[in-house]
Every structure is written in structure tokens, then in C-alpha cells.
Amino acid sequence: MKSIALHWRILIGMALGVIVALIMSQIAWGPALITDYIKPFGTIFINGLKLIAVPLILASLIKGVSDLKDLSRLSQMGLRTILTYVFTTILAVSVGLMVVNIVAPGKQITEQTRNELVEAYGGEAAKKQEQAQQQIQAGPLQALVDLVPSNIVGAAANNGNMLQVIFFALFFGISLIMIPEASGAPVKAFFDGLNDVILKMIDLIMALAPYGVFALMAALVVEAPSADLFAALLWYALCVVIGLILLVLIYLLIIRFVIGRNPFDFLRGISPAQLLAFSTSSSAATLPVTMECVEEELGVRKEVASFVLPIGATINMDGTSLYQAVAAVFIAQAFGMDLDFATQMGIVATATLASIGSAAVPGAGMVMLIIVLAQAGIPEAGLALIFAVDRPLDMCRTVINVTGDAMVSLWVNKSQED
């Protein structure tokens, strides 16, 4: 197996997981066996990746900022990064709205199917509504308040507080640049060494990736809802997938004509991260592999990758933004609502801001979707309509999140060279 490239081993693990799950689903005790004795290994694999997410961000971002040795260069890179991320997010939401308005998938939903889905997933929807309501009730500047942690140890203890960790790492790295070089040298050497250790941990964890992915895919298949529910939401799922494909094509055009690189080389280089993102549904968990692919396969400088990618994994959710736009209009259509142009432009703005606050973990986009629905006046109960197919679509949109981050890192890297 060692002679086979990692992305092929991951792909084989995914395929075997599906095949084994389909076979075991035909045996009375098969699903329980997978849930009790196979799924835990997938959970352990994800936990291993999450384990190093915060140390990686701290080490790589502090190292990346301190390597710049020039605050003006840092501010220039930061401005380009943020503006590019905002541009790609607005682009993603716009593509999603275009597709969902043309296809109009919500009009395919019957009253009977709607009632079945609300009954089956109403409990989960209520949990998401409760979480989102807390964010809706917060003040207009709460996001700014939440950016600055009162305790860095507490912030680092929760992977959902990535923005706070990034704030601290940027603050620390900038301060490290501003003190005399002799005083900062030992500190910088520590974080350089820590970064090397974290990268080695990534290599060790990724050696187990095919087995972890096998377990995750097997569990997903046996826990999936019935085929009838999936069939009822086929048009909605197709809209999301078509939108994501269009977004990838736009990425490839940017890579070819703006960045001047071969799109196929880009896809080949980023494929291990894409496959891992598909199986884990977590941009944060995939971040270590994304950084490794971008640096080693695409030739992005470490100082750029260490700065752009951790920020992108937290605030640049192109796939999630597109999904929120499609889901909001789909739910409105299912309830017989016609959204005017102004309301849909409000969805663009809200989905863009919501993606910035969305945690880079599985299912976080569902919570942020309720804020988008509330802004547009769409019934929040409609959230239950999309729970049946949310997990596989979450896997797909996470691939786009990671691909968008990699594309932006390549773009920023080129701009730093020009």
C-alpha cells in the first residue's frame, strides 16, 4: 500500500467503506456492528486531526507572521487575503442564487413529503433553532466582542473558537516582530520547532487516513435516512451540487487566466485534502493536510500558506455560503413564497457575513442558515426539510471550502511575487 499515493488510498478506503456498509445493511446485526465497532475508529481519526488544529494554527500563524519581519508586508498580505475571501464568498452566494432560481427545486416538494420530513427531523431542527436564536439575540457588535478572548487557554480548548485563536496568534506574531530581534529569536525558534513537530504529527495521523475514512463512510451509509426521503429532495441536492461544480469551474478559470497555473496540476496537488474534506466534513480537521498539499505540491511559500489557510479555514466558507443561498430559496419555494430581488440581495449579504462566523466543523452551516432564513423572513420550521440530505451535501460543500482556500493561497502567493 505504501507505493500507492495517499489520495488513492483514501479513495479506496471510501469505496470499501460504502461496499462493506451496503453488505452489512442486509444483515440484521450488521448496522449495529458498524455503529458500535467500526464508527468509533472514524471518530478517533477525526479527533486526532482536531487535536492538532489549535496547535497548528498557533505555531504556523505565529511562524508565518514573524517570518515576514515587516509590518507593512503583513498588512498588505492581510488586506489582499481578506478582500479575496470576501470576493469569492459573494461569488459563491451569487452562483447559488442563480442556480436555485433557474431550477426552482422547492416546487417539486409535495405537502405529504414536507409533513414526513418535518415529523422525522423536527427535533433536530429545534436544536439548531435554539442555537441560532442565541446568535440572533446578540447585539450588532457581538461578533467583534467575541473576536477577542478573555482567556487564551479557554479559547484554545474549543475548536469552535478558531477566530479567537487566530486573533491571539496574529497579535502575538505582530508583537514578536516589534521587539528587538535578539530578544525574539528564542521565542521564534521555539515556534519554528513546534511547527516542525506538528507537521510530523500530521504525517503520522495521515498514515491512518484510509482506515479512518473507511470507518466514516461505512457509518454514514448505515445511518442514512430512507431512499424515499432522498428521492423527494433530489432536485434540491442537484442544485447544490451543480452550483458547487460551477464554482469549481470558476476557480479553475481564475487559476488558468489570472494566476497563470495549470488547473489540472492544481487539482492533482490538492486532491488529498479534497478527499479528506469530503470524508470528514470539516475544514478545520482538513487544515493540516491542506497546508501540506499547498506548500509541497503547489509551491506556495510557507509564510503565505501559514497566514492565508488558517484564516480561510475559519472565515472563507464558499461552499457553505452557496449552500445557504440555495437552501434558503429552496425552503421559501417549498412554502410557496416568492422572494423579490431585494430580499435575495439580503441573502447575499447575510450569507456572506454568516460564513465568516461559521465554525469550520461538520454541521455548523446549518446553524448559520437559520440566521439567513430569519433575515429573509422564511419560516425557520422549513429547516427540517433539508436535514435528510444535509450530511452528504455537507461533505460536498466542505470540499469546495478547502478548494477555495487553496485557490486563494495560490492567488495571494502570486500577488506577493509580482
Average pLDDT in the chain? 80
Determine the Cα–Cα distance for residues 58 and 1; give it in Å rounded to an integer.
33
Residues 44 and 212 sit within 8 Å (Cβ to Cβ): yes
* pLDDT value of position 1: 41
* pLDDT value of position 7: 65
Q: C-alpha cell of 158?
A: 474549543
* pLDDT value of position 267: 94
Q: C-alpha cell of 346?
A: 439580503
Give the C-alpha distances (Å, rounded to integers) separating 278 from 113, 157, 330: 28, 25, 23
pLDDT band at 133 (very low <50, low <70, confident <90, very high): low
pLDDT at residue 166 greater than cutoff 70: yes
- More confident of the two residues 20 and 51: 20
Determine the Cα–Cα distance for residues 418 and 412; give it in Å rounded to an integer.
10
Q: At what angle do helices 341-357 and 318-334 cross, to 10 degrees?
A: 140
- What does the DSSP assignment read for 99-133? HHHHH-GGGG--HHHHHHHHHHHHHHHHHHHHHHH
* 1 belongs to a structural domain: no
Backbone angle region of 375, left / alpha / beta, with phi > 0 → left and psi within -120 to 50 → alpha: alpha
Say what the pTM is: 0.67
pLDDT digits (tens, 9 = 90+) for 32-44: 999 899 989 988 8
Determine the Cα–Cα distance for residues 285 and 17; give it in Å rounded to an integer.
20
Mean pLDDT computed over 388-396: 77
Q: Output Rg (C-alpha) for the chain, integer angstroms.
A: 21
* pLDDT value of position 38: 92
Q: C-alpha cell of 152?
A: 487564551
- What does the DSSP assignment read for 238-294? HHHHHHHHHHHHHHHHHIIIII---HHHHHHHHHHHHHHHHHH--HHHHHHHHHHHH
Cα 269 to the center of its chain, rounded Å: 18
* pLDDT value of position 361: 47
pLDDT at residue 88 greater than cutoff 70: yes
pLDDT at residue 354 greater than cutoff 90: no
- More confident of the two residues 4 and 178: 178
Backbone angle region of 361, left / alpha / beta, with phi > 0 → left and psi within -120 to 50 → alpha: beta
* pLDDT value of position 407: 96
* pLDDT value of position 18: 84
Q: Which of 22-31, 67-76, 113-122, 281-290 has the highest mean pLDDT?
A: 22-31
Residues 50 and 284 sit within 8 Å (Cβ to Cβ): yes
119-124 long-range contacts, CB within 8 A, separation 24+:
120/225, 120/229, 120/384, 120/387, 120/388, 121/384, 121/387, 121/388, 122/381, 122/384, 124/384, 124/387
Q: State the DSSP H helix or E strand holding residue 207, giving kind and residue range, or none if neither.
A: none
The Cβ-side half-sphere exposure at 126, using a 13 Å CA radius, reads 6
Domains held by the chain: number: 1
> What is the CATH number for 79?
1.10.3860.10
Q: State the DSSP H helix or E strand holding residue 150, giving kind and residue range, or none if neither.
A: none
pLDDT band at 23 (very low <50, low <70, confident <90, very high): very high
pLDDT at residue 107 greater than cutoff 50: yes
Nearest to 360 by CA among 274, 304, 280: 280
Q: State the DSSP H helix or E strand holding residue 27, giving kind and residue range, or none if neither.
A: none
* 19 belongs to a structural domain: yes
Domain of residue 273 covers: 6-417
Residues 371 and 350 sit within 8 Å (Cβ to Cβ): yes
pLDDT digits (tens, 9 = 90+) for 222-271: 865 555 445 557 888 899 999 999 999 999 999 999 999 999 999 999 99
- Check the CA dihedral 361-366-368-369 and report its sign: positive
The percent of the chain in helix, strand and coil, each rounded to the nearest 5, is: 85, 0, 15
Q: C-alpha cell of 396?
A: 460536498
pLDDT digits (tens, 9 = 90+) for 225-235: 555 445 557 88
Residues 397 and 323 sit within 8 Å (Cβ to Cβ): yes
Q: State the DSSP H helix or E strand holding residue 193, giving kind and residue range, or none if neither.
A: helix 181-206
* 42 belongs to a structural domain: yes
- More confident of the two residues 211 and 378: 211
